[in-house]
Amino acid sequence: MGEQIRVLSIGQMNPKITIQDIPENIEWIHISPENVFLYITHVKQEAELEKKPVRRFSAIVIECIKDVKNIDCLDDFIEPYRVFYMSEGYLLSVEQKLFMKRKLAKKCSLRHLPEKLELISKAFYERQSYGDKFHIEQIMISPNVKGKVRYTGHNNVSLSVKDIDDFQEVAIWKYNYLHGDKPFTFWLEYQADKQLEVQLVIHAIKYGSVADIMNRYVYSQKDMETPITLDEQGFVNLCFSLQVRGSGTIHIGALHKRDSRFFEGDFFVGGQTFRDSKREEFHYYFHPGDLTPPLNVYFSGFKGVEGFEGYRMMQRLGAPFLLISDSRLTGGAFYLGSEEFEKGIVNVIRDSLDWLGFTNDQLVLSGLSMGTFGALYYGAKLLPHTILVGKPLVNLGDVAFNELMHRPGVFPTSLDLLQKITGKNSKQTIDALNQRFWQVFDEADFEKTSFVLSYMKNDDYDMNAYHDILNHLKDSRARIISKGIAGRHNDNTNAILEWFRNQYEDVLKLDFKRSRK
Which CATH number fits the domain that encloses residue 170?
Answer: 2.60.120
Q: In this structure, what CATH number is given to the domain that contains residue 48?
A: 3.40.50
Q: Which of 90, 123, 156 is the last residue of a domain?
A: 123
514 lies in a domain? no
E strands within 53-183?
A: 59-64, 83-87, 106-107, 131-134, 139-141, 149-152, 156-173, 177-179
Q: In whole angstroms, what is the distance from residue 182 CA to residue 169 CA? A: 28
Are residue 299 and residue 350 in the same domain, yes or no? yes
Domain boundary among 194, 223, 258: 258
337, 351 Cβ separation under 8 angstroms? no
Q: Is residue 451 part of a domain?
A: yes
Q: Mark whether 252 and 295 lie in a shared domain.
A: no
Residues 310 and 251 in one domain: no
Residue 141, domain extent: 131-258
Q: 10 Å Cβ neighbour count for 151?
A: 13
Question: What's the Cα-to-Cα distance from 149 to each of 20, 175, 328, 422, rounded to whole Å?
Answer: 55, 21, 22, 21
Query: Do 139 and 26 share a domain, yes or no?
Result: no
Domain tally, the chain: 3
pLDDT of res. 2: 65
- Looking at the structure, tell me whether residues 244 and 298 fall in a common domain: no
pLDDT of residue 14: 53
**100 shares a domain with 15:** yes
DSSP 466: H
* CA-based nearest residue to 79, from 107, 106, 58, 62: 58
Same domain, 117 and 142: no
Categorise residue 493: left if φ over 0, alpha if ψ from -120 to 50, beta otherwise.
Answer: alpha
Give yes or no: residues 42 and 61 share one domain.
yes
DSSP code of residue 306: B
Cβ-based neighbours of 476, under 8 Å, separated by 6 or more: 445, 446, 447
Answer whether 352's CB lies under 8 Å from 418's CB: no
Query: E-assigned strands of 69-212?
Result: 83-87, 106-107, 131-134, 139-141, 149-152, 156-173, 177-179, 184-192, 196-206
Could you tell me the strand order of the sheet in which 26-31 lies? 26-31, 5-10, 59-64, 83-87, 106-107
Examine residue 266 and state whether it is found in any structural domain, yes or no: no
How far is Cα 83 from Cα 363, in angstroms, rounded to an integer? Answer: 27
- In a domain, residue 517? The reply is no
- Which pLDDT value is given to residue 13? 59
> Does residue 495 sit in the same domain as residue 424?
yes
Q: How far apart are CA 402 and CA 412, in angstroms?
A: 10
Residue 371, SS3 per DSSP: helix
Residue 263 lies in a domain: no
- pLDDT (tens place) for every residue of the chain, 517 residues total: 568 999 999 987 555 667 778 999 999 999 999 999 999 999 999 999 988 888 999 999 998 888 999 999 999 999 999 999 988 777 889 999 999 999 999 998 878 888 999 999 999 999 998 899 999 999 999 998 988 999 999 999 999 999 999 999 999 999 888 877 788 999 999 999 999 999 999 999 988 887 889 899 999 999 999 999 988 767 889 999 999 999 999 999 999 999 999 889 999 999 999 999 999 999 999 999 999 999 999 999 999 999 999 999 999 999 999 999 999 999 999 999 999 999 999 999 999 999 999 999 999 999 999 999 999 999 999 999 999 999 999 999 999 999 988 899 999 999 999 999 999 889 999 999 999 999 999 999 999 999 999 999 999 999 999 999 999 999 999 999 999 999 999 999 999 999 999 999 999 999 999 986 5
Whether 264 is covered by a domain: the verdict is: no
- Structural domain includes residue 265: no
428 Cβ neighbours under 8 A, 6+ residues apart: none
pLDDT of residue 180: 74
Helical H segments across 264-369, by residue range: 311-317, 339-356
Selection from 261, 337, 267 nearest residue 305 by Cα: 267
* Boundary (domain end) residue, out of 211, 237, 258: 258
**What is the torsional sign of CA 428, 430, 431, 433?**
positive
Do 97 and 218 fall within a single domain?
A: no
Phi/psi of residue 369, nearest 5 degrees = 55, -115
Q: Is residue 374 part of a domain?
A: yes
Containing 219, the helix (H) or strand (E) segment is strand 213-220
SS3 93: coil
Query: 482 and 415 in one domain?
Result: yes
Q: Are 198 and 161 within 8 A, CB to CB?
A: no
The pLDDT assigned to 183 comes to: 86
Cβ atoms of 324 and 300 within 8 Å: the answer is: yes
Same domain, 248 and 354: no
What global pTM score does this model have? 0.95
